[in-house]
Every structure is written in C-alpha cells, then in structure tokens.
C-alpha cells in the first residue's frame, strides 16, 4: 500500500524531464545535435488543420500586442519555442505517471526493463520525426537519431530507478527495520537496524540534482547560442568584426537628401537585418551548408541543372532592390513589416539558361523545410524584379532570414515568398501552396496600409506664434506606390500630410503632419491613397485570409 503511485510518477517525470530538455538543448548548441522538442513541434504544425494554425497565429499576435511583449515576430518565435519545450515537459509528466501506475499495478519490484521500454516507445517516434523534419542540426543525421534514442532510454531507465528506490523507501516520518522481527522483539521494542531515507528526502535530493543539471545545461546552452547569434550578426550595420560589412555601413540611402524629414519617433526608414521581422513554419531556422547546397531545376525543363551559390553570384549580373516586405498576418498598425536592400538575379534570366518546355506554366518552389509555393511563369517573364535573392544589405542573409537563397515577388505578402530554397520545378498547372492549403488567400496581394508611429509631444515645433506637434508614420501599398496621406483629428476634416520621397517604388513612404497644438485628449487617425488614387480599404477586417484592413488610430493626451 506504500508503493508510489501516479502522482509520485508525475512529479518524478517532471523532475527528470526538465534536465532531459536541458541536455538536449546543450547538445544542440555544442555539438549540432537535434533539439527534439522543436522537431516534434514543427512536425505537429505540418499536420494540424489550417483552422487550428490560423487560430493560434491570430491569438498569439493579439496576446503579444495586447500585453506589449515586444517586437511581434521575436516574441511569437519565443512563444513557439516555449510551447515546444512545454509539450515535451508535459509528455514527460504523463509518461512518469503512467509508468508508476503500471509498475505499482503489476507489483514489479526491480529491474529497468519497463523504463527502457517506455524510453523506446517515446524515443523511437521522436527520432523518426527528427529525421524527417529537422533542418537545423549540423551533426551526422544517424548520430543525431541515435543520440535522441539513447537520451530517451537513459531517461526511461532513470524513471524506473526512481520508482524502484521509492518503492523501497519509507513514507515521510517512518523507519523500516530490514531484519526479521523475532517474537521477543514484539514484547520489548527494539531500535530499527537500518533507518532508511524517507520519500520526501529522496524527492528533495532528486529535485536538487535535476535542478543543477537543468540550470547548468540550459545556461551553457544559452551562452553558446548567444555567442553564435552575435557572431552571425556581428558585421550587420558595420560592426567591428573582421570580414565584409553591410552595404548600409558606408552608403547613404538613395533618398538621403529628401526634403521632408521624418517626425521624431518615426520608425527607421531602413530596417537593420537583426530587427527585420521573421515569420516562418520552424521553431528554429534550417542550418544549410553553402558548400553542399544546390539549387535544383527539374520538371518541364530542357536542361535540368544543379546550381551553386557561386553560379548565381558569378554568372549573372546582380540587381539591387530596396523592398518593403510585410507578413499577411500583420494587424493594422503591427510591426510585421520591414524594409531592406535585396540583391540577387532576375529569375527569368536563370530560366532562359535552363530552358522551359512547352506546357510549363508555373514554377513550384520548395524550401529546405518543406515549405512550397507556386509562381506563374507569365509573371516571371513580365517582371525582372522577381528575383532569386542571395544578399540582404550586401551580405548573405542570416539563417533566420533564408540563407542561402530566397525569392522576391513584388506586391505580394511574405507567405508567397519561400526562403531556404532548394528546388524549382517547372509544372503544367497551378496547385495550392503551403499556406493556401491552410485556407489563406491564393494571391496574397499586399493591402494598402498607413500607420501612425509617433505623436511627438516632446518635440514641439514653433512656427511664429503657432506651436506644432510633429505626427508621422509610414504608408505602403506594395509596388503600387502612395500618392497621398491624410490625417484626421478627433473626427474632424481630413488634412493632407507631407510625403517624404521613398527609397524606391517598392518601399514604404514616410509621411509627416505638423498639427497645431491643442491641450486635451485627442484621437488621431490616418489613411492613404495608392499611386493610382485608390483609397485604402476603411472597412475593418482581420488578417485572415487576405490581410488586415481598416484605419489606424491612436489616442494621446497633450
């Protein structure tokens, strides 16, 4: 009756799964081995219904914005990773409870076979999932799968060991006599020959050991990961690290001499790589070795080919484009948008060398993580701006932003533009891409949007006897341009703002309006018009399925 049961198993499962996760993390950072929680999470995202994924995305964005948890894409990625870790942690708790219940019910007194079986039952599927999904590990795949299985076997054996010890350990406050009890001893009390450690002490010692392993493993892993991240972006923006520096470190923007200056507090006109949003289907980005990477052309082509990155860099004259890219899940006034300098080669030039067969109408573009999308050949042939991109701000994009190759398609949200491209197949008909299969818009054309970034109450401007409040932000409509921005105060008349010359025709426009100061609480609203004069959509709609619409407002007290 004193044998440990399910609740003890759940507790021991928690105590042993925490260090397991920490060891997985440390091994992934030090040796490039798979981090199992991320692989399982990524696999789940591939098979869950689109409605579930969409609900998760919208809920996550709303919570991050509502609680002001920081830049949306970074906070969302952190939340995804925490959910992945929590998933394995909860699995460990449940597994521990089940194992203890089975051992208690069967009265198994010794050995580790049940725990090893449990470790294999969980470890084998996780190893298989990792072999299919994982793209971030750098270690030999077979070594990675063996490592996952071994780690779960050790974890299962440790669970079994804990049960065995607890089964032989007295409940708290009791002692156990390990010698046979003689008739005489029933008459005169005898001290116990061995006083065993009670269960509370055992759990405390187990928890202390687990805590040490967890803290050390997670801490060292985080330290190594931070060093890697710093090394990857050290040169971005012209850092002191040796090697090439970013284009923006020594070059002015094309509109540097524009007459209209941004209102103080307006977001940076050019987004540094490390601050550019990142939205994708992976808990951790694919880690691709340039030396072994190939871009494969197949399908309805005359000359199937495998191109290296050097082939693209050296055999084709590069083009450079300043581009504003936005995520289709970006809410009105959200920060899932950024502007960068893209470098690459027009896709139509590469296709001319590959040669397309009659009947080819679309390209199916596939990424290393399994993401895919279709692009019409008519669009590619009509627009040299559609390019295979191998540099951002003059440097190879970071792994998080698509190294070694991504595509740029003007006027479309990021969901249509794969990163980590590995395969391009010419096909005869269109099919649904990754997000389209999950009920998002098949065209994903960028909506016109305008945002108030700042009401600069701390930077008032004096114009004669009039005090002016600089108000500013951005407006964007894909490659369709912005012809006018208007600001409304407290529901009054719309007043036209000044527009700063944009960096390019495919970037956002910075606008500014100097409003005559009035004390009190005020509501400011902005709207924009596309280059053709088409007004932005004022009706309020959420991001799913075609991108958010509506006007952005902010309330300030002056």
pLDDT digits (tens), the chain, 558 positions: 578 899 999 999 999 999 999 999 999 999 999 999 999 999 999 999 999 999 999 999 999 999 999 999 999 999 999 999 999 999 999 999 999 999 988 866 668 999 999 999 999 999 999 999 999 999 999 999 999 999 999 999 999 999 999 988 756 555 544 444 444 444 455 444 343 458 889 999 999 999 999 999 999 998 987 766 666 554 443 343 456 899 999 999 999 999 999 999 999 999 999 999 999 999 999 999 999 999 999 999 999 999 999 999 999 999 999 999 999 999 999 999 999 999 999 999 999 999 999 999 999 999 999 999 999 999 999 999 999 999 999 999 999 999 999 999 999 999 999 999 999 999 999 999 999 999 999 999 999 999 999 999 999 999 999 999 999 999 999 999 999 999 999 999 999 999 999 999 999 999 999 999 999 999 999 999 999 999 999 999 999 999 999 999 999 998
CA angle 225, 236, 511 (to 5 degrees): 120
Q: Which two tokens mark 435?
A: 């997000």
What's the confidence (pLDDT) of residue 199? 83
The string over 451-484, giving b where at least 16 C-beta atoms fall within 10 Å of a residue's C-beta and e elsewhere, is bbbbbbeeeeeeeeeeebbbbbbbbbbbbbbbbb
Strands (E), 79-160: none
**Cβ count near 375 (within 10 Å):** 22
Strands (E), 310-455: 319-326, 337-346, 362-367, 372-376, 387-392, 406-408, 421-427, 449-455
What's the confidence (pLDDT) of residue 79? 95
Which residue do the tokens 């780690």 mark? 151
Please tell me the distance from the alpha carbon of residue 480 to that of residue 373, in angstroms, as a whole number: 23
CB-based contact 171:28 (threshold 8 Å) = no
CB-based contact 210:155 (threshold 8 Å) = no
**Cβ count near 496 (within 10 Å):** 12
Q: CA–CA distance from 128 to each of 32, 264, 343, 371 (Å)?
A: 17, 53, 38, 20
Please tell me the distance from the alpha carbon of residue 495 to that of residue 370, in angstroms, as a whole number: 48
Beta bridge partners of 466: 463
Q: Which two tokens mark 289?
A: 């070795």
- Going by C-beta distance under 8 Å and a sequence separation of 6 or more, which residues neighbour residue 444? 328, 412, 413, 415, 416, 435, 546, 547
The string over 318-336, giving b where at least 16 C-beta atoms fall within 10 Å of a residue's C-beta and e elsewhere, is ebebbbbbbbbbbbbbbbb
Q: Which two tokens mark 522?
A: 């005020």
Pick from 477, 464, 558: nearest CA to 511: 477
Pick from 543, 525, 69, 51: nearest CA to 337: 543
The string over 515-546, giving b where at least 16 C-beta atoms fall within 10 Å of a residue's C-beta and e elsewhere, is beeeeeebebbbbbbbbeeeebbeeeebbbbb
Please tell me the distance from the alpha carbon of residue 165 to that of residue 389, in angstroms, as a whole number: 59
Please tell me the distance from the alpha carbon of residue 147 to that of residue 138, in angstroms, as a whole number: 13
Domain 449-557 has CATH 2.60.40.650: yes
DSSP-assigned letter for residue 249: G
What's the confidence (pLDDT) of residue 550? 98
**Cβ count near 414 (within 10 Å):** 25
Q: Which two tokens mark 65?
A: 């914005």
Whether cis (ω within 30° of 0) applies to the bond prior to 404 is yes
Q: What are phi and psi of 501, to 5 degrees?
A: -55, 130
Please tell me the distance from the alpha carbon of residue 498 to that of residue 482, in angstroms, as a whole number: 12
* Highest CATH level, class, for 273-438: alpha beta
User: Model-level pTM greater than 0.85?
Assistant: yes
The string over 183-214, giving b where at least 16 C-beta atoms fall within 10 Å of a residue's C-beta and e elsewhere, is eeeeeeeeeeeeebebbeebbeebbeebeebb
Count of residues in the chain: 558
Q: Where are the alpha helices (DSSP H) in 364-459?
A: 377-382
What's the confidence (pLDDT) of residue 533? 98
From its phi and psi, is residue 137 left (phi > 0), alpha (psi between -120 and 50) or beta?
beta
Please tell me the distance from the alpha carbon of residue 297 to that of residue 303, in angstroms, as a whole number: 8
Please tell me the distance from the alpha carbon of residue 75 to that of residue 64, in angstroms, as a whole number: 7
Pick from 500, 479, 484, 409: nearest CA to 450: 484
- Stretch (H or E) spanning 157: helix 141-167
Pick from 270, 217, 169, 200: nearest CA to 17: 217
CATH 2.60.40.650, the chain: domain bounds: 449-557
What's the confidence (pLDDT) of residue 191? 47
Pairing of strands 295-299, 421-427: parallel
CATH 3.90.420.10, the chain: domain bounds: 273-438
């Amino acid at each position: 009756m004193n044998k440990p049961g399910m609740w003890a198993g759940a507790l021991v499962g928690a105590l042993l799964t925490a260090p397991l996760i920490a060891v997985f993390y440390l091994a992934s950072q030090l040796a490039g081995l798979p981090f199992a929680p991320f692989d399982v999470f990524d696999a789940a995202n591939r098979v869950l219904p689109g409605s579930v994924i969409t609900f998760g995305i919208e809920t996550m964005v709303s919570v991050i914005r509502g609680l002001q948890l920081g830049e949306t894409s970074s906070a969302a990625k952190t939340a995804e990773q925490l959910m992945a870790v929590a998933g394995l942690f909860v699995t460990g708790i449940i597994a521990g409870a089940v194992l203890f219940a089975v051992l208690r019910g069967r009265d198994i007194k010794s050995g580790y076979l049940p725990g090893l079986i449990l470790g294999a039952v969980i470890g084998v599927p996780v190893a298989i999932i990792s072999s299919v999904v994982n793209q971030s590990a750098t270690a030999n795949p077979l070594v990675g799968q063996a490592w996952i299985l071994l780690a779960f076997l050790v974890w299962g054996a440790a669970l079994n060991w804990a049960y065995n010890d607890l089964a032989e350990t007295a409940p708290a406050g009791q002692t156990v006599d390990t010698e046979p009890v003689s008739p005489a001893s029933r008459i005169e009390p005898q001290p116990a020959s061995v006083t065993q450690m009670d269960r509370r002490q055992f759990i405390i010692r187990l928890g202390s050991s687990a805590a040490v392993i967890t803290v050390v493993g997670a801490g060292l892993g985080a330290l190594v990961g931070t060093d890697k991240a710093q090394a990857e972006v050290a040169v971005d923006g012209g850092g002191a690290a040796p090697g090439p520096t970013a284009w923006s470190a020594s070059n002015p923007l094309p509109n540097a001499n524009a007459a209209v200056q941004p209102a103080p507090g307006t977001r940076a006109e050019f987004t540094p790589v490390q601050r550019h949003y990142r939205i994708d289907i992976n808990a951790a980005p694919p880690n691709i070795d340039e030396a072994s990477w190939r871009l494969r052309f197949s399908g309805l082509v005359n000359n199937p080919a495998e191109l290296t990155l050097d082939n693209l860099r050296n055999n084709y004259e590069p083009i450079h484009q300043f581009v504003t890219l936005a995520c289709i899940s970006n809410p009105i006034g959200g920060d899932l948008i950024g502007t960068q300098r893209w470098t690459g080669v027009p896709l139509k030039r590469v296709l001319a060398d590959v040669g397309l067969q009659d009947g080819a109408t679309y390209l199916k573009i596939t990424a290393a993580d399994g993401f895919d999308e279709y692009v019409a050949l008519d669009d590619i042939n009509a627009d040299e701006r559609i390019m295979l991109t191998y540099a951002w701000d003059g440097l190879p994009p970071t792994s998080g932003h698509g190294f070694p190759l991504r595509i740029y398609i003007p006027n479309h949200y990021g969901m249509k533009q794969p990163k980590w491209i590995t395969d391009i197949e010419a096909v005869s008909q269109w099919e649904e891409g990754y997000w389209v299969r999950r009920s998002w818009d098949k065209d994903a054309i960028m909506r016109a949007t305008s945002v108030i970034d700042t009401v600069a109450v701390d930077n008032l401007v004096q114009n004669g006897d009039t005090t002016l409040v600089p108000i500013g932000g951005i407006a964007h409509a894909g490659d369709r341009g912005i012809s006018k921005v208007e600001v409304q105060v407290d529901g009054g008349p719309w007043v036209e703002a000044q527009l700063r010359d944009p960096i390019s025709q495919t970037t956002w426009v910075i606008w500014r309006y100097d409003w005559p100061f009035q004390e009190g609480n005020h509501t400011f609203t902005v709207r924009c018009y596309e280059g053709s004069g088409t007004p932005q959509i004022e009706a309020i709609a959420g991001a799913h399925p075609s991108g958010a619409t509506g006007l952005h407002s902010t309330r300030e007290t002056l």
